Structure 1
Amino acid sequence: MSIVIEHMTKSFDGTSVLRGIDLTIESGELVALLGPSGSGKTTLLKIIAGLDWPDAGGLRVHGADWLHLAAQDRRIGFVFQHYALFPHMTVRDNIAFGLTVRPRAERPGKAVIAAKVNQLLEFLQIGHLGDRYPTQLSGGQRQRVALGRALAIEPTVLLLDEPFGALDAAVRRDLRAWLREVHDETGSTTIFVTHDQEEAFELADRVVVMGEGRIEQIGNADQIHDHPASPFVARFMGATIELPVMLNAGRTEAQGLDASRLQRRALPDGPGTLFLRPADVTPLADPSGRWQIVRRTSNGALLRLELTDGAQHFGIDLPRRAPEAQGLSPGARVNLRPEAGTIFPGPRTSQPQAATTEFPRKEKSL
């Protein structure tokens, strides 16, 4: 089922939560809504589910206007972060619930429901848990039951709101791979809300990055990582270092900065801001260097150097055994060589309209 969202807005108590959302999701696609808390992603999901209503805009699913349909008429499968299972029901009854509460004319027979539940129990690899209660299950098992309940009604659209947020990291990794397999086998149109970048990029066909009620960028992992469309996306993707630079004939210039790895770009001359990830910067020892190392720590694999030039303070990461790391200790001075970065015209306080991404030269891969 394709989904078309047009010019959608939503406010709560005068605060805009959605600010003109336009998004098309193709039939059978798995799309992740990625962003920090307060970006509007869960509100958008609830509107699609019929649990909330927009102030303005359109929502069409497979050509039908869903804003004129009640939630129970949309055949939505919804999986929440905290499972929302019925504690007094067995796993089998939880999965069957959506079928047993259908209007009598649409309700399958008991034998059909039982067969469907058995099929899902095996499909979700929890066939041995059918007679247990939610309190007797692990978090990962409960999440599978919640998904089984959502899939039992053969939903037109499957919606997942931070479904793995309450699970530990190892279980989350296992369930991510498993959920992707479920999606591919069912062919459902799935929308997945998360604030976890790794989760979004591993699972989704496309990722929609949201911030402050707007869609900031749509793309896959490589596109968004290498080509952030705005300072918001750059920061969200880990570019925690923002250096004021000057653009001169397409080249990036700044005191203490070796920009030889950054390609010349077709940008207007003048001030700019270079956004860097801590792992994309190489320190170059120089007794008269611009930055001084104020702290050095190690986790065994990576070395963390905290730097300051008096005006800015930030950290960079590099392999502990890298040649550039040898001999660097607190008090030493360095210049910096960016290996990759994103530059936006204008000073740091401005809100540029477009972004240009710098790439490392071929002799140095990311």
Structure 2
Amino acid sequence: MTIAISSLTKSFGPTAVLRGIDLSINDGELVALLGPSGSGKTTLLKIIAGLDWPDAGGLVVNGQNWLDLPAQKRRIGFVFQHYALFPHMTVRDNIAFGLSVRPRAERPGKSVIAAKVTELLALLQIPHLADRYPTQLSGGQRQRVALGRALAIEPAVLLLDEPFGALDAAIRRDLRRWLREVHQQTGSTTLFVTHDQEEAFELADRVVVMGEGRIEQIGSADQIHDRPASPFVARFMGAVVELPVTLRAGRAEAAGLDARALERRAMADGPAQLFLRPDAIALEADPASPWVLAHKSSNGAMIRASMRRADGTEVPVDLLRHSAPDLTLGTAYRLRPLTGAVFALDGIAQSDAPRPLPILKEKRQ
């Protein structure tokens, strides 16, 4: 099923939650809606499901205007964060529920429903749990049952709202791999909401980064990670280092900075802001650099360094311990970004205004 969303808006009272969403999703594609709380992800999902309605805009699925259809006619499979299983029903009956409550004229026969449930139990790798009740299952098992119930109706579109948010990290990793395999076998057009970057990038064909009701960027994990489209995306991706630079011939320049590894930007010469992640900065000894090593610590895998300038500005740098150079406190080092993003100052909105750099308070070595 293809999905075409155009100029979709939604407000709750004076608060604008969706501010003109345009998004096309291909048949069989798995798309992640990624962003912080309040970015409009779940509201968009509910509008697609028919659980909420936009103030304006369009929603067309396979050429049909879904805004003319009530929720029960959209054949949506919806999986919630907290499972929403029926506690008085067995696993088998929970999965069969969507088929067994269809109008009589549309309801499959009992043998057809039983065969479908058996097929899904095998796909979900839980046939041994068929006669158990939700209270007898682990969180990961309950989420598999919830997905099975959504898949049983052979949905036109599968929607998942923070499906693994209530599970611990190890179980989430296992279920992510499993869900990707299920998606490849079923071929369902799928959207899922998450605030977890790792989850979105591991699972999705494409990631849609949302912020304050707008789509900030659409792309693959590598594109969004290495080439954020806005200061919002850069910060969301962990670019907590923000340095004023001068742009000349598409290159960012500043004292103690070697930005030759960064792509040239097709921007006018002048003042700009460079956004960097601490783990995307290398250090090279340079007695002429204004950046001096003020602190360093190790967690066994990473060296965390803090580079300080004479004006008190500090930049955190994370280096793999086994490949990091020997670092000496009080020594000057040049910052060499491996990846980063540059934005012209006049292109940074007031809400995107540069923030003070974090000051690390780690124990001196």
TM-score (norm 1): 0.91
How many angstroms apart in 2 are the aligned matches of 1:299 and 1:209?
31
Match of 2:53 in 1: 53
How many angstroms apart in 1 are the aligned matches of 2:351 and 2:132?
56
Distance 1:260 1:75, change over 3 A: closer
Report the RMSD for the aligned CA atoms in angstroms: 1.9
Shift of 1:285: 3.3
Q: Which moved more, 1:204-213 or 1:262-271?
A: 262-271
Match of 1:320 in 2: 321
Match of 1:283 in 2: 283
In the TM superposition, structure 1's runs of 4+ consecutive aligned residues that sit over 6 Å from their partners are none
Distance 1:11 1:305, change over 3 A: same
Match of 1:246 in 2: 246
How many angstroms apart in 1 are the aligned matches of 2:207 and 2:40?
15
Q: Which moved more, 1:198-207 or 1:335-344?
A: 335-344
Q: Which moved more, 1:251-260 or 1:209-218?
A: 251-260
1:259-304 deviation line (CA, Å, top 9, x unaligned): 3433544321110111111111122334564233333121111100
How many angstroms apart in 1 are the aligned matches of 2:57 and 2:264?
42
- Answering whether residue 178 of structure 2 is matched by residue 178 of structure 1, we say yes
Maintained 8 Å contact 1:66/1:74 = yes
Q: In structure 2, the residue corresponding to 1:210 is in which secondary structure?
A: strand
How many angstroms apart in 1 are the aligned matches of 2:17 and 2:218?
19
- Answering whether residue 311 of structure 2 is matched by residue 339 of structure 1, we say no
- Answering whether residue 29 of structure 2 is matched by residue 29 of structure 1, we say yes
Distance 1:112 1:261, change over 3 A: closer
How many angstroms apart in 2 are the aligned matches of 1:348 and 1:316?
27
Shift of 1:334: 2.9
In structure 1, give the amino acid aligned to 2:319. Answer: L
In structure 1, give the amino acid aligned to 2:19. Answer: R
Shift of 1:351: 6.6
Matches within 5 A, 1:113-152: 113-152=113-152
Distance 1:262 1:130, change over 3 A: closer
TM-score (norm 2): 0.91
Shift of 1:348: 8.8
Match of 1:165 in 2: 165
How many angstroms apart in 1 are the aligned matches of 2:249 and 2:6?
41
How many angstroms apart in 2 are the aligned matches of 1:234 and 1:296?
25
Q: Which moved more, 1:263-272 or 1:197-206?
A: 263-272
In structure 2, give the amino acid aligned to 1:320. Answer: R
In structure 2, give the amino acid aligned to 1:175. Answer: L
Structure 1: tracts of 5 or more residues without a match = 354-366
Maintained 8 Å contact 2:251/2:260 = no
Q: Which moved more, 1:308-317 or 1:236-245?
A: 308-317
Match of 2:20 in 1: 20
How many angstroms apart in 2 are the aligned matches of 1:250 and 1:63?
44
Match of 2:361 in 1: none
Q: In structure 1, the residue corresponding to 2:151 is in which secondary structure?
A: helix
Q: In structure 2, the residue corresponding to 1:321 is in which secondary structure?
A: helix
Structure 2: tracts of 5 or more residues without a match = 353-365
Shift of 1:312: 2.8
Maintained 8 Å contact 1:231/1:351 = no
Match of 1:41 in 2: 41
